[in-house]
Structure 1
Amino acid sequence: MRIIIPLISLLASLLLGACNNAPDPVILNTVKNGTPAMWKVSGTNPDQIGTAYMFGTIHILPDNVEWRTSALEAAIADSDQLVIEVLGLDDTQSAARIFSRLAVSPGQEKLDARVKPSLRDDLDRIVDASNISERTLNRMETWAAALSLASAQTKGLGLDSSGGVEKKLTAQFEKAGKKIEALETIESQLGYFDKLPEEQQRQMLTSVIEESGDSQQAFEKLFNAWMTGDIDQIVTLTDTGILSDAKTRQYLLVTRNQDWAEQLDKRLQHPGTSFVAVGAAHLAGPDAVQAMLAKRGYKVEKIQ
């Protein structure tokens, strides 16, 4: 659940329109005012002439929380462009076509055959609560079924992506007439999951099932760590579940961070200031994007 959270914004928009039952209201024990972590990256040699603000995000926001600060607004005002993970989520029809093309494959085993027998009752319970048909899930590759069920659990908390950080920042930069670019496409982002070996995909599904009983608590912990800028706690929370497997972590997190650091390095070799807003897990720990930029000679300052 914890590492799946970064993709919930996409899956909620593509899948959960089928979940017509309104969930019962859930009272979340979340921080109402905070200072999410932010860094400034600047060059130390003549080739590194650009600047970037690195802001860790969470893709789903509860109502009535204040995450904006004077330091954040100053960084936004100082920036020429916004760089986010992926563009195109507003075109839900196109996004849904991409998801379906990657997610659905012929000849899949029934979903309950892809987990150990001791988890099948819990899987049935999660499927029933999701309002996603068994037939639909059985046709999906394992990664897609896992993401779909995780998204449904978050929807069950009364959360969706309509007011997420990226959407709010995108609207702000659009209103200011500033450029908005992305580090990945929808297809490439989902492709990381699609290319996982089946063993790792089944580990993902197992994690969703095993963590389903504390989905509210897991979200609260991650959200509160984000709001308070508690990087150590974010590392702790995202080092569990499927990311505890070294190969899966390398593929889903480290490889993507390396690609983003390469892209940002090229941007920083040109004048201008970018405001980079990506999932907080990508800016936490020794494999963080800004840590990789520091190894390339950039000066990295934590400014919030």
Structure 2
Amino acid sequence: MLIIRFILTLIASLMLTACNATPDPVTLNTVKTGTPALWKVSGTKPEQKGVAYMFGTIHILPDDVQWRTPVLEAAIAESDTLVIEVLGLDDTRNAAKIFSRLAISPGQEKLDTRIKPSLKEDLDRIIDSANIPERALNRMETWAAALSLASAQTKSLGLNSSGGVEKKLTAQFEKTGKPIESLETIELQLGYFDKLPEAQQRQMLTTVVEDSSDAQQAFEELFNAWMTGNIDDIVTLSDGGILSDPKTREYLLVARNLNWAEQLDKRLQKPGISLVAVGAAHLVGPDAVQETLVKRGYKIEKIQ
């Protein structure tokens, strides 16, 4: 489930926003003050004129935490552009339309037939607690049902998408009139999961169901690793689940990271300073975006 939370919570946030039910508050065992990882990227060749600060984010946050630091605030102040994963999630009506168009297909099997029999009771329990009509889930493709149930579990922890790092950074850049750009569209990001083979989609659903009883602990581990800038822990947490399958990892993580590195390379060949704020899982380990930029001649400094 951890990797689902790292990579999918950005899109899950649009469904969290649309959910009207407000659960009772949950006491989370999370670090209150931290130093999330931040890198500086600069060129070593004449044509590499730009600079980028790369900030690994987590898309949904508890309310009572201090993740901003003087080093990060200085990078924000110096940057003239914010680059995030996806734009347009604030338009929840349009985002929900895109989700529905990709997620709902005729002729879907009942959801409980897409999972092994030993997990059916757990699936029923999750559906009941999620407050999502089973008939709605039965109409969804498997990836979308898995995502809906995962986001409902996050909602049950009392987390609100309005407190996410990207939303706060976006509001800050909008206030100062600085441009905000994205690396992917909503359609493109959802499309990665929509195009997964059914076997991989069912593995996503299985992971959500199997890990449902540990949802709070899973989020706490993920959040604390991010908050403390613990790269090793983030790598460990990112290696399991659906990304343990090499083909799925290549498709959902590696290929996207390479695409982002290509976009950033083009950006860095022009003057300017960008703050690139993307999910932390994309910036750690051997497949990190920075690793590709190093191969293209850029200097990478971890400054926090």
User: d(CA) in 1 for partners of 2:192 and 2:18?
Assistant: 24
**What's the offset of the Cα at 1:12?**
3.4
Aligned to 2:231: 231
**What's the offset of the Cα at 1:19?**
5.1
Aligned to 2:85: 85
Aligned to 1:58: 58
User: d(CA) in 2 for partners of 1:15 and 1:109?
Assistant: 25
**What's the offset of the Cα at 1:18?**
4.3
Which 4+ runs in 1 deviate beyond 4 A? none
- State the TM-score, normalizing by the size of structure 2: 0.98
User: d(CA) in 2 for partners of 1:100 and 1:15?
Assistant: 15
Residue 164 of structure 2 is aligned to residue 164 of structure 1: yes
Gaps (5+ residues) in structure 2?
Answer: none
Q: Give the number of aligned pairs.
A: 303
Aligned-partner residue type, residue 134 of structure 2? E
**What's the offset of the Cα at 1:4?**
2.0
- Residues 44-78 of structure 1: per-residue CA shift (max 9 Å, x gap): 00111110000000001101100001100111111
Residue 152 of structure 2 is aligned to residue 152 of structure 1: yes
Aligned to 1:8: 9
Aligned-partner residue type, residue 160 of structure 1? N
Contact 2:55/2:277, CA 8 A, preserved across alignment:
yes
SS of the residue 1:277 aligns to:
strand
**What's the offset of the Cα at 1:15?**
5.8
Aligned to 1:121: 121
User: d(CA) in 2 for partners of 1:191 and 1:9?
Assistant: 14
Contact 1:36/1:228, CA 8 A, preserved across alignment:
yes
Aligned-partner residue type, residue 144 of structure 2? A
SS of the residue 1:191 aligns to:
helix
- State the TM-score, normalizing by the size of structure 1: 0.98
Aligned-partner residue type, residue 145 of structure 2? A
SS of the residue 2:182 aligns to:
strand
SS of the residue 2:180 aligns to:
strand
Contact 1:18/1:131, CA 8 A, preserved across alignment:
no
User: d(CA) in 1 for partners of 2:12 and 2:230?
Assistant: 26
Aligned-partner residue type, residue 243 of structure 1? L
**What's the offset of the Cα at 1:14?**
3.0
Contact 1:19/1:132, CA 8 A, preserved across alignment:
no
Aligned to 1:294: 294
Change (3 A) 1:45 1:11: same
Aligned-partner residue type, residue 294 of structure 1? V
Cα RMSD (Å): 1.0
Aligned-partner residue type, residue 158 of structure 1? G
User: d(CA) in 1 for partners of 2:164 and 2:301?
Assistant: 26
Aligned to 2:256: 256
Change (3 A) 1:261 1:72: same
**What's the offset of the Cα at 1:33?**
0.4
Aligned to 2:283: 283
Identical counterparts, % of pairs: 76
Change (3 A) 1:111 1:15: farther
SS of the residue 1:187 aligns to:
helix
- Residues 205-229 of structure 1: per-residue CA shift (max 9 Å, x gap): 0000011010000000000000000
Aligned-partner residue type, residue 105 of structure 2? S
Aligned to 2:76: 76
User: d(CA) in 1 for partners of 2:23 and 2:163?
Assistant: 18
**What's the offset of the Cα at 1:10?**
2.7
- Residues 62-107 of structure 1: per-residue CA shift (max 9 Å, x gap): 0110000110011111111000000000111111110000000000
**What's the offset of the Cα at 1:11?**
2.4
Change (3 A) 1:15 1:217: closer
Residue 46 of structure 2 is aligned to residue 17 of structure 1: no
Contact 2:146/2:208, CA 8 A, preserved across alignment:
yes
**What's the offset of the Cα at 1:292?**
1.1
User: d(CA) in 2 for partners of 1:101 and 1:178?
Assistant: 32
Contact 1:82/1:173, CA 8 A, preserved across alignment:
yes
**What's the offset of the Cα at 1:9?**
3.7
User: d(CA) in 1 for partners of 2:211 and 2:270?
Assistant: 44
Contact 2:109/2:138, CA 8 A, preserved across alignment:
yes
Change (3 A) 1:18 1:82: closer
Aligned-partner residue type, residue 23 of structure 2? P
Contact 1:37/1:229, CA 8 A, preserved across alignment:
yes
Gaps (5+ residues) in structure 1?
Answer: none
**What's the offset of the Cα at 1:13?**
2.4
User: d(CA) in 1 for partners of 2:274 and 2:78?
Assistant: 9
**What's the offset of the Cα at 1:137?**
0.2
